[in-house]
Amino acid sequence: MKSDQFPFNLPSLLEKLPIEGMDLWMKRDDLIHPIISGNKWRKLKGFFRGIDRTKTIITFGGAYSNHLPAAALTAKLHGMKIVGVVRGEELHQNSNNYLKYCASQGMELHFISRGDYRTLRSNGWKLNGLDPEIPDNHIILPEGGAGKHTLEGCKEIWQEIKNEFTPNHLVISSGTGATVHGILSAMSKNEKTRVHVISAVRGAVNEMSAICTYAESKGIKINWLDEAFGGFGKTTPELLQEIEEFQSQTEIQLDRNYNAKLWFWLKNNPLQGRIVWVNTGGLSL
């Protein structure tokens, strides 16, 4: 599939993995699109439905954000202007391949300090005159594509799985928690499937509290695991070796930030019964 191709490969494949001793299936959202892959299109779908194309999109992310390239391409394909506010005032558009790609797709990049970025996040992404060059006629797309609009696309993940079978366990990695929230919203009350969330962010207390409270209100059992490798984007030689061994066994590449850490946990904490692992994708630009 070409990187600028619509429509996407949906519904995504539910594939049985050749892992001895586990009845393990992978929901291959990583194959939806080479750039707007995994949960990125699931989260962006509702945002771009019926959007006012005369407005400029303002969105946010770090230097290695998967969201920023996906948003840049999606805005381009919808004929819209987009500004990316990037965490790290020392950066520029040629700092890495992620930022280079964003710029190549027409995203205007603005770099701010980490302190200002934290303030933006705590203020719910309200710009409050942060940069006079950012146009007034804009619409905010929060970090990671999060927002109420994510429910539309992320609900479909669970609906597609249920069309095949009901697993005993659902395992998914998480950043902002938006994809997990969407899946939970599609699940029935007292759903028998146990949900395991592997956080890619250390100490995501607010996200954990919101997701676990919501799951418990629906009578769904949930297990939230904190990031265990030193923080987002951190890795170890042991984790890199696991990625290589998994790829050799399955011919499936795992991103370091999300799915590799999920696999490390799952391998060391084997679950009983039928397991569905939602592969949320991840770029290697």
62-116 pLDDT tens trace: 998 889 999 999 999 999 999 999 999 999 999 999 999 999 999 999 999 999 9
50-145: same fold as 14-34+149-278?
yes
Q: Which two tokens stand for residue 231?
A: 């923080």
Specify whether domain 14-34+149-278 bears CATH 3.30.420.40.
no
Ramachandran angles phi, psi of 83, nearest 5°: -115, 130
Residue identified by tokens 């959007």 is 51
Q: Which two tokens stand for residue 106?
A: 């027409």
> Tell me, what's the pLDDT at 6?
55
Beta pairing class for 23-27 and 14-16: antiparallel
Share of the chain above pLDDT 70, in %: 96
194-248 pLDDT tens trace: 999 999 888 888 889 999 999 999 999 999 999 888 887 788 999 999 999 999 9
Residue identified by tokens 């699931």 is 42
> Tell me, what's the pLDDT at 235?
87
113-158 pLDDT tens trace: 999 998 998 888 988 767 667 777 899 999 988 888 888 889 999 9
> Tell me, what's the pLDDT at 255?
87
Ramachandran angles phi, psi of 17, nearest 5°: -95, 145
Classify domain 50-145 at the CATH topology level. Rossmann fold (3.40.50)
Query: For residue 2, what pLDDT band results from cuts at 50, 70 and 90?
Result: very low
> Tell me, what's the pLDDT at 171?
98
**Domain segments of the chain: what residues?**
14-34+149-278, 50-145
